[in-house]
Amino acid sequence: MSAGARPARVAMVSVHTSPLAQPGVGDAGGMNVYVLEVSRHLARMGTAVDVFTRTTTASQPEVVEVEPGVVVRYVPAGPYEGLSKEDLPGQLCAFAAGMMRVAAHAPPGYYDLVHSHYWLSGQVGWLAADRWAVPLVHTMHTMARVKNLHLADGDEPEPRGREIGEAQVVEAADRLVANTAREASELVDLYDADPARVAVVEPGVDLTTFAPGSQAAARALLGVPADAVLLLFVGRIQPLKGPDVLVRAAAELVRRHPGLRDRLVVGVLGGASGSGARTPMGLDDLAARLGIAENVRFVPPVDRPTLAQWYRAADVLAVPSHSESFGLVAVEAQACGTPVVAADVGGLPIAVGEAGLLVDGHDTADWATALGRLVLDPALRGTLARRAVEHAQGYGWAHTAQRLLDVYGEALSRPKDVSIHEAPRLTGIPTAVIP
């Protein structure tokens, strides 16, 4: 294909989590939203997308058409239930074989390009791209070496096997997509990626669902008192995301300003995931020990329209992550007119911009001070709310999809580097099972 060519059909690979899964449940999160939204917008721009993901329940159909041009294909690989993300490296052979079978029943050249997400998918995508003689584009979303540099207290380091697997995918990919310039630098500095093959494509936000609205109406709908001071956390309940930082800071805020006690509501939206599922964080016990058990409200993951209502209802969204490739929840909240206080890590400075406050580190006193600035200063909160809406307008998913098409075009126009795709291949995939 010539420079600037667009693929007719992309094989999108998301092994460990379906784009149709509810964000906040298990391993589902921002990556799910990313895969689903870019697939939809790519299809609307004329590039069809088949998303390959692992079957996790017996009731899942083999194929789900999301909308014209977007198909999710569920591939059996290991037991449907009971496998954690950490168990999946042993199922990559079965997953790859399932992808090969799908392609074997399609016309030659059915897929023009493979775009894999997260390192597990990168291993499978590497094999598929090599077999089909098409480019491999890969998005890390998170990286072991970055996460291990910023571990939360009590969190488990990522295993050496993941680091090795990521390094292999970095070497094999024709293009690497980074969410921010900082992530691009991390790929180069920590994984020795070729800078010429790294492209920055910022994620987007659904500006139709996430938009300003009445705080009073949102609170009435959600059962939040009209005069509450609502601090909100949205994300998976695991040490990496730092929900305990918000609980501790809220208790310190009450200690400094006792008059807030009767009005303070700390909303924690999300489900346990990763190390947080294996070793529960005990946020309810923490809140009780700190004397704010009655102020903390735990809410299971909700659908996107309801999530937008929570953002509108909140005075502040806290994003105290220890590592974050971008931080979609920050932009979603800003699109609803809610100021953000976030950790100064990863892609959060880009996601927040000048429309929120950044905190260096995770010290309880520092977080209480930052939250207090917004809670106690309605004028500042109003100023940041207006900036937040303006800032979020630059992050529509259509723009993200268009940038990806540019990256795809670059990958398609690049002469095939045989040394990459015939270098050490993904081991453990017996050719006998591949059609």
Which helix (H) or strand (E) segment holds residue 298: the answer is: strand 296-299
62 is in an annotated binding site: no
241 is in an annotated binding site: yes
124 is in an annotated binding site: no
DSSP for 392-431? HTT-BHHHHHHHHHHHHHHHHHSPP-HHHHTSSPPTT--G
236 is in an annotated binding site: yes
338 is in an annotated binding site: yes
Q: Which residues contact 403 (CB under 8 A, 6 or more apart)?
A: 199, 201, 202
85 is in an annotated binding site: yes
User: What is the torsional sign of CA 171, 176, 181, 186?
Assistant: negative
314 is in an annotated binding site: yes
Interhelix angle for 118-132 vs 160-172, to 10°? Answer: 40
Report d(CA 216, CA 227) in Å as an integer.
9
29 is in an annotated binding site: yes
- Alpha helices (runs of H) in 91-242, residue ranges in sequence order: 92-104, 118-132, 144-149, 160-172, 181-191, 215-222
30 is in an annotated binding site: yes
Q: Which residues contact 59 (CB under 8 A, 6 or more apart)?
A: none
What single-letter amino acid sits at 406? D
For 222, the token pair is 């959600």
312 is in an annotated binding site: yes
31 is in an annotated binding site: yes
268: exposed, middle or buried (Cβ count in 10 Å: 0-12, 13-18, 19+): buried
22 is in an annotated binding site: yes
191 is in an annotated binding site: no
23 is in an annotated binding site: yes
**Cβ–Cβ under 8 Å, residues 42 and 401:** yes
Could you list the beta-strand ranges (E) of 314-363.
316-319, 340-343, 356-359
343 is in an annotated binding site: no
410 is in an annotated binding site: no
145 is in an annotated binding site: no
227: exposed, middle or buried (Cβ count in 10 Å: 0-12, 13-18, 19+): exposed
16 is in an annotated binding site: yes
Report the chain's C-alpha Rg in angstroms.
Answer: 22
Question: Which residues on adjacent β-strands are paired with residue 317?
Answer: 232, 340
Which positions make up the binding site for 1D-myo-inositol 3-phosphate? 16, 27-32, 85, 118, 142, 162
Which positions make up the binding site for UDP-N-acetyl-alpha-D-glucosamine? 22-23, 30, 236, 241, 302, 324, 332
Which positions make up the binding site for Mg(2+)? 311-312, 314, 338
Which positions make up the binding site? 16, 22-23, 27-32, 85, 118, 142, 162, 236, 241, 302, 311-312, 314, 324, 332, 338
